[in-house]
Amino acid sequence: MPIPEQRDLDKARGDVRDWLAGKLPDATDLSISPLIGPAFTGFSNETLLFDASWRHAGARVREPLVLRVKPTQHTVFLESDFENQYLVLRTLAERTNVPVPPVRWYEADASYLGAPFFVMGKVEGRVPADSPPYTVEGWLLDESTPAQRRTLVESGLDALTAVHAVDWRALGLEVLAKPQYGALGFEQQLRYYERALEWAEREAGYPVPAVPRATLEWVRAHAPAVDPEVTLCWGDARINNQLFGPDHRVVAVLDWEMTTIADPMMDLGWWLFLDRHFHEGMPAPRMEGFPTRAEMVARYEHTSGRTARDLDFYEVFAGLRFAAVMIRIATLVTDFGLMPAEAGEEIAANNPVTRVLADLLDLPAPGPTPPGPSA
């Protein structure tokens, strides 16, 4: 769900150009295109697109770039872990076969844009949209064949298994662990999201709605006794965070705001829950060609060599995590005046996430599909 653009893009263009000149000391005749700041930008990291052009050794160089700025005031997540996003992207780009954009620079000095930022090379491709949902309209629904849709989902799952195959210890990614929340694995994840729900409730000014509250109690009661393994987890594992080429195969895995070290089934559970979210939660008919839940699990097992386990639990846990995000989004859409103030509590209580959760846990339905934001 987007928020109104808050930045003066003309001023930012000059600031970015001056900063880039310092990163390219041998460049001459440096210019950058206007920053593309869409009418609305995301609730997580602000993203700006531009093309840079300069001369080097007598030749003209042009490079499309993507700049991501650390969120400061209006945040969805309890902790942004912004520098860790850069670390993960750089490490994966340089030392693994996980398809991610090439990372160019990190800037910790907030004086340029008001917050730290990093710059990546732009990868050409298309993303199944969040808004409007790809199951309701867009290129995946209107232009793709059933066979191409199946290829897209299977390629996305294969990219997920590549993330889980990374040797995170050898790559020095233990910094992603959150020992302040408990033992590595599920305990850290549960305590983190308990804290996130408390924070979201405090910021919202009303209690956690009934469905997420009941889900938290269910998760506490049904948690697996042990973590058989922990891996690098992408966190926000879904096709909406992947770029696809003309052949409907993944060319880049995007959006690492939720990356962590945890049971890989947490990622697979999120993938399955988000598939439900964009179909049953909207609601929208299941797209022809999309693999079934069983087929997606089988594809993951075949590609990863793992036997999937505890997926019913991790799908519900995914819904709990997403519900915490939805409470924050409900608060922010009212803070920005995109919806009346009194609508925030209804959005937090009744949305695609809570409707899917209610169905999974046989809870009372939160209500019919309301008008307004859906994700």
The first and second tokens of residue 64, run together, are 């499309």
Q: 1 pLDDT band (50/70/90 cuts)?
A: very low
Same domain, 117 and 148: no
Same domain, 233 and 354: yes
The first and second tokens of residue 129, run together, are 């949209």
How many distinct structural domains can be found in the chain?
2
- Residue 60 located in a structural domain: yes
Comparing CA positions, the residue from 289, 284, 348, 361 lying closest to residue 322 is 348
120-136 pLDDT per residue, tens: 999 999 999 998 999 99
Alpha carbon distance 176, 5 (integer Å): 30
Region 75-81: mean pLDDT is 87
Same domain, 284 and 179: yes
Alpha carbon distance 232, 173 (integer Å): 8
- Residue 371 located in a structural domain: no
CATH of the domain at 68: 3.30.200.20
Q: For residues 192, 197, 200 and 201, what is the CA-based torsion angle, rounded to 10 degrees? A: -150
Comparing CA positions, the residue from 71, 51, 62 lying closest to residue 117 is 71
Same domain, 243 and 338: yes
| C-beta of residue 85 within 8 angstroms of C-beta of residue 206 | no
Q: Measure the CA angle with vertex 358, ends 334 and 293; round to 5°.
A: 110
- Residue 375 located in a structural domain: no
Alpha carbon distance 368, 375 (integer Å): 16
Region 232-249: mean pLDDT is 97
Same domain, 164 and 250: yes
pLDDT for res 71: 85
294-348 pLDDT per residue, tens: 999 999 999 999 999 999 999 999 999 999 999 999 998 888 888 888 899 999 9
Same domain, 209 and 327: yes
- Residue 372 located in a structural domain: no
- Residue 279 located in a structural domain: yes
35-44, 47-56, 82-91, 96-105: least confidently modelled range: 35-44
**What is the secondary structure of 206-245 as a DSSP string?**
SPPPHHHHHHHHHHHHH--S--S--EEE-SS-SGGGEEE-
Of all residues in the chain, what percent carry a pLDDT higher than 90?
85
Give me Rg for the CA atoms of the chain. 21
Residue after which a domain boundary falls, among 94, 121, 148: 121
Same domain, 172 and 255: yes
Q: For residues 58, 59, 62 and 68, what is the CA-based torsion angle, rounded to 10 degrees? A: -50
Comparing CA positions, the residue from 107, 130, 116, 93 lying closest to residue 45 is 116
- Residue 313 located in a structural domain: yes
Alpha carbon distance 330, 347 (integer Å): 6
Same domain, 161 and 296: yes
The first and second tokens of residue 91, run together, are 């490490």
Alpha carbon distance 75, 269 (integer Å): 24
Residue after which a domain boundary falls, among 121, 153, 179: 121
Same domain, 150 and 117: no
Res. 237: pLDDT tops 90: yes
| C-beta of residue 149 within 8 angstroms of C-beta of residue 289 | yes
- Residue 187 located in a structural domain: yes
The first and second tokens of residue 352, run together, are 């695609």
Comparing CA positions, the residue from 288, 211, 242, 259 lying closest to residue 123 is 242
- Residue 373 located in a structural domain: no
87-143 pLDDT per residue, tens: 999 999 999 999 999 999 999 999 999 999 999 999 999 999 998 999 999 999 999
Which pTM does this prediction carry?
0.94
Instruction: Give residue 303's domain range.
Output: 139-361
CATH of the domain at 166: 3.90.1200.10
Same domain, 283 and 348: yes
Comparing CA positions, the residue from 372, 368, 324, 322 lying closest to residue 347 is 372
pLDDT for res 5: 56
Same domain, 274 and 351: yes
Same domain, 303 and 175: yes
